[in-house]
Amino acid sequence: MVEPTQPGWFHTVTIDDAWQVLAHLPAADLSTFELIVMRQSTRKQRILNPAWGRAAFYFDVEEFNGRAIVLEAQNLEPIIWPVSLTPERARELDRLVEDGHAIHRGKRWYEIRSTQASLRNTVLYRTLLHEVGHHVDHRRCSDEEWDSLTAMEKEDYAHRYAAENAALLKWAGLIPFAPMVDAEALRSEGLDPSWFATQ
Protein backbone atom coordinates (compact mmCIF):
# COMPACT_ATOMS: atom_id res chain seq x y z
CA MET A 1 0.00 0.00 0.00
CA VAL A 2 1.45 3.34 -1.04
CA GLU A 3 0.15 6.68 0.23
CA PRO A 4 0.66 9.87 -1.79
CA THR A 5 3.36 12.13 -0.40
CA GLN A 6 3.04 15.78 0.58
CA PRO A 7 5.18 18.46 -1.10
CA GLY A 8 8.80 18.14 0.03
CA TRP A 9 8.33 14.53 1.18
CA PHE A 10 9.14 11.29 -0.61
CA HIS A 11 9.15 7.55 -0.15
CA THR A 12 12.80 6.58 0.22
CA VAL A 13 12.37 3.23 -1.55
CA THR A 14 10.21 1.93 -4.37
CA ILE A 15 8.15 -1.23 -4.29
CA ASP A 16 10.75 -2.88 -6.54
CA ASP A 17 13.55 -1.82 -4.16
CA ALA A 18 11.77 -3.41 -1.21
CA TRP A 19 11.03 -6.66 -3.07
CA GLN A 20 14.62 -6.87 -4.30
CA VAL A 21 15.77 -7.05 -0.66
CA LEU A 22 12.90 -9.18 0.66
CA ALA A 23 13.24 -11.75 -2.15
CA HIS A 24 16.48 -12.99 -0.58
CA LEU A 25 15.14 -13.57 2.94
CA PRO A 26 13.93 -16.97 4.16
CA ALA A 27 10.33 -17.71 3.16
CA ALA A 28 9.49 -18.48 6.80
CA ASP A 29 10.56 -14.95 7.77
CA LEU A 30 8.45 -13.39 5.01
CA SER A 31 5.40 -15.34 6.22
CA THR A 32 5.44 -13.35 9.48
CA PHE A 33 3.75 -10.31 7.87
CA GLU A 34 1.30 -9.68 5.03
CA LEU A 35 1.65 -6.05 3.98
CA ILE A 36 4.15 -3.28 3.43
CA VAL A 37 2.75 0.21 3.84
CA MET A 38 4.59 3.22 2.47
CA ARG A 39 3.01 5.87 4.63
CA GLN A 40 2.94 9.66 4.66
CA SER A 41 3.16 10.76 8.27
CA THR A 42 2.09 14.21 9.41
CA ARG A 43 4.55 16.88 10.54
CA LYS A 44 3.17 16.54 14.05
CA GLN A 45 3.80 12.77 14.03
CA ARG A 46 7.36 13.38 12.81
CA ILE A 47 7.93 15.81 15.68
CA LEU A 48 6.28 13.72 18.41
CA ASN A 49 7.21 10.21 17.29
CA PRO A 50 9.70 10.23 14.41
CA ALA A 51 10.59 6.90 12.86
CA TRP A 52 12.03 5.41 9.71
CA GLY A 53 9.57 2.54 9.96
CA ARG A 54 7.48 0.41 12.28
CA ALA A 55 6.38 -3.18 12.73
CA ALA A 56 2.60 -3.27 13.13
CA PHE A 57 1.31 -6.54 14.56
CA TYR A 58 -2.24 -5.42 13.80
CA PHE A 59 -2.75 -2.93 11.00
CA ASP A 60 -6.26 -2.06 9.89
CA VAL A 61 -6.85 -0.04 6.74
CA GLU A 62 -9.54 -0.21 4.10
CA GLU A 63 -10.22 -3.91 3.43
CA PHE A 64 -6.99 -5.17 5.05
CA ASN A 65 -6.20 -6.06 8.63
CA GLY A 66 -3.18 -8.01 9.74
CA ARG A 67 0.56 -7.77 10.27
CA ALA A 68 2.43 -5.05 8.37
CA ILE A 69 5.70 -3.23 7.98
CA VAL A 70 5.19 0.52 7.78
CA LEU A 71 7.89 2.58 6.06
CA GLU A 72 7.50 6.30 6.70
CA ALA A 73 7.95 8.94 4.00
CA GLN A 74 10.79 11.35 4.74
CA ASN A 75 11.90 14.85 3.91
CA LEU A 76 15.31 16.52 3.89
CA GLU A 77 14.76 18.77 6.92
CA PRO A 78 17.56 18.36 9.48
CA ILE A 79 16.87 16.11 12.46
CA ILE A 80 17.90 17.52 15.83
CA TRP A 81 19.01 15.32 18.76
CA PRO A 82 20.30 16.51 22.13
CA VAL A 83 24.02 15.98 22.81
CA SER A 84 23.20 13.86 25.88
CA LEU A 85 22.39 10.56 24.17
CA THR A 86 21.34 7.24 25.65
CA PRO A 87 23.67 4.36 24.75
CA GLU A 88 21.11 3.12 22.20
CA ARG A 89 20.82 6.59 20.61
CA ALA A 90 24.63 6.80 20.44
CA ARG A 91 24.74 3.45 18.60
CA GLU A 92 22.02 4.70 16.24
CA LEU A 93 24.05 7.84 15.55
CA ASP A 94 27.00 5.60 14.54
CA ARG A 95 24.69 3.60 12.26
CA LEU A 96 23.45 6.83 10.64
CA VAL A 97 27.04 7.86 9.91
CA GLU A 98 27.60 4.45 8.27
CA ASP A 99 24.46 5.03 6.19
CA GLY A 100 25.93 8.30 4.86
CA HIS A 101 24.12 10.93 6.94
CA ALA A 102 26.16 14.03 7.85
CA ILE A 103 26.30 14.65 11.61
CA HIS A 104 27.18 18.10 12.95
CA ARG A 105 27.72 18.54 16.67
CA GLY A 106 26.88 21.83 18.31
CA LYS A 107 27.11 22.80 21.98
CA ARG A 108 23.73 21.30 22.86
CA TRP A 109 22.53 19.51 19.75
CA TYR A 110 23.44 17.08 17.05
CA GLU A 111 22.13 18.11 13.66
CA ILE A 112 21.59 15.16 11.33
CA ARG A 113 21.55 16.14 7.67
CA SER A 114 20.30 13.57 5.21
CA THR A 115 20.27 13.06 1.47
CA GLN A 116 17.91 10.91 -0.56
CA ALA A 117 20.74 8.37 -0.84
CA SER A 118 21.50 8.25 2.90
CA LEU A 119 17.80 7.93 3.74
CA ARG A 120 17.48 5.10 1.21
CA ASN A 121 20.43 3.33 2.84
CA THR A 122 18.82 3.65 6.26
CA VAL A 123 15.34 2.54 5.23
CA LEU A 124 16.11 -0.11 2.61
CA TYR A 125 19.18 -1.85 4.02
CA ARG A 126 18.50 -1.44 7.71
CA THR A 127 14.97 -0.40 8.68
CA LEU A 128 13.14 -2.80 6.37
CA LEU A 129 15.24 -5.72 7.67
CA HIS A 130 14.89 -4.44 11.26
CA GLU A 131 11.09 -4.47 11.04
CA VAL A 132 11.11 -7.98 9.52
CA GLY A 133 13.23 -8.92 12.55
CA HIS A 134 10.52 -7.62 14.90
CA HIS A 135 7.92 -9.75 13.11
CA VAL A 136 10.17 -12.84 13.24
CA ASP A 137 10.82 -12.25 16.94
CA HIS A 138 7.12 -11.72 17.66
CA ARG A 139 6.14 -14.90 15.79
CA ARG A 140 8.66 -17.07 17.67
CA CYS A 141 7.29 -15.97 21.07
CA SER A 142 4.09 -16.74 22.89
CA ASP A 143 2.07 -13.69 23.94
CA GLU A 144 3.36 -14.07 27.50
CA GLU A 145 6.98 -14.35 26.35
CA TRP A 146 6.62 -11.31 24.09
CA ASP A 147 5.06 -9.22 26.86
CA SER A 148 7.87 -10.21 29.24
CA LEU A 149 10.60 -8.93 26.91
CA THR A 150 11.93 -5.44 27.54
CA ALA A 151 11.89 -2.85 24.78
CA MET A 152 15.70 -3.10 24.67
CA GLU A 153 15.58 -6.89 24.22
CA LYS A 154 13.14 -6.49 21.34
CA GLU A 155 15.29 -3.79 19.72
CA ASP A 156 18.48 -5.83 20.18
CA TYR A 157 16.92 -8.82 18.42
CA ALA A 158 15.71 -6.68 15.50
CA HIS A 159 19.08 -4.90 15.17
CA ARG A 160 20.90 -8.23 15.19
CA TYR A 161 18.51 -9.69 12.60
CA ALA A 162 18.99 -6.67 10.33
CA ALA A 163 22.79 -6.62 10.69
CA GLU A 164 23.19 -10.35 10.05
CA ASN A 165 20.94 -10.37 6.99
CA ALA A 166 22.46 -7.18 5.56
CA ALA A 167 25.92 -8.73 5.96
CA LEU A 168 24.79 -11.87 4.09
CA LEU A 169 23.24 -9.79 1.29
CA LYS A 170 26.41 -7.68 0.98
CA TRP A 171 28.61 -10.78 0.97
CA ALA A 172 26.48 -12.21 -1.86
CA GLY A 173 26.82 -8.95 -3.82
CA LEU A 174 23.06 -8.32 -3.69
CA ILE A 175 23.24 -4.97 -1.89
CA PRO A 176 23.75 -2.13 -2.37
CA PHE A 177 22.05 -1.59 -5.72
CA ALA A 178 20.88 1.44 -7.69
CA PRO A 179 17.34 2.74 -7.10
CA MET A 180 14.77 0.84 -9.14
CA VAL A 181 12.52 3.65 -10.36
CA ASP A 182 10.45 2.49 -13.33
CA ALA A 183 8.23 5.52 -13.94
CA GLU A 184 6.08 3.77 -16.54
CA ALA A 185 5.44 0.78 -14.27
CA LEU A 186 4.63 3.06 -11.33
CA ARG A 187 2.12 5.03 -13.42
CA SER A 188 0.52 1.79 -14.63
CA GLU A 189 -0.12 0.92 -10.96
CA GLY A 190 -1.72 4.33 -10.35
CA LEU A 191 1.34 5.70 -8.54
CA ASP A 192 3.07 9.02 -9.17
CA PRO A 193 6.85 8.61 -9.73
CA SER A 194 7.40 11.97 -7.99
CA TRP A 195 6.38 10.34 -4.71
CA PHE A 196 9.65 8.34 -4.70
CA ALA A 197 13.29 9.24 -4.21
CA THR A 198 15.33 8.99 -7.39
CA GLN A 199 18.87 8.87 -5.94
Count the Cβ atoms, other than its own, within 10 Å of residue 122.
Answer: 24
Say whether both 19 and 37 belong to one domain: yes
Residue 190 region, left (φ>0) first, then alpha (ψ -120 to 50), else beta?
Answer: left
pLDDT, tens only, 95-146:
999 999 999 999 999 999 999 999 999 999 999 999 999 999 999 999 999 9
pLDDT band at 198 (very low <50, low <70, confident <90, very high): confident
Least confident of 48-62, 82-96, 119-133, 164-178: 48-62
Domain stops at, among 113, 137, 159: 113
CB distance 55 to 134 below 8 Å: yes
pLDDT at residue 11 in the model: 96
Say whether both 62 and 154 belong to one domain: yes
**E strand or H helix that includes residue 94:** helix 87-99
pLDDT band at 63 (very low <50, low <70, confident <90, very high): confident
Please check whether residue 2 lies inside any domain of the structure.
no
Number of domains making up the chain: 2
Say whether both 101 and 163 belong to one domain: no
pLDDT, tens only, 16-60:
999 999 999 999 999 999 999 999 987 677 665 678 999 999 988
pLDDT band at 65 (very low <50, low <70, confident <90, very high): confident
Please check whether residue 3 lies inside any domain of the structure.
no
Please check whether residue 66 lies inside any domain of the structure.
yes
Please check whether residue 55 lies inside any domain of the structure.
yes
The range of the structural domain enclosing residue 83 comes to 77-113
Please check whether residue 65 lies inside any domain of the structure.
yes
Q: Alpha carbon of 112 to those of 65, 80, 100, 101, 117: distances in Å?
A: 35, 6, 10, 7, 14
Please check whether residue 176 lies inside any domain of the structure.
yes
Mean pLDDT of 175-196: 93
> How many whole angstroms separate alpha carbon 144 and alpha carbon 154?
14
Give me the chain's average pLDDT, please.
93
Q: Which of 109, 119, 49 is nearest to 85 (CA)?
A: 109
Strand partners, 68: 35, 56
Domain stops at, among 66, 97, 113: 113
**E strand or H helix that includes residue 196:** none
Please check whether residue 130 lies inside any domain of the structure.
yes
Domain stops at, among 113, 134, 166: 113
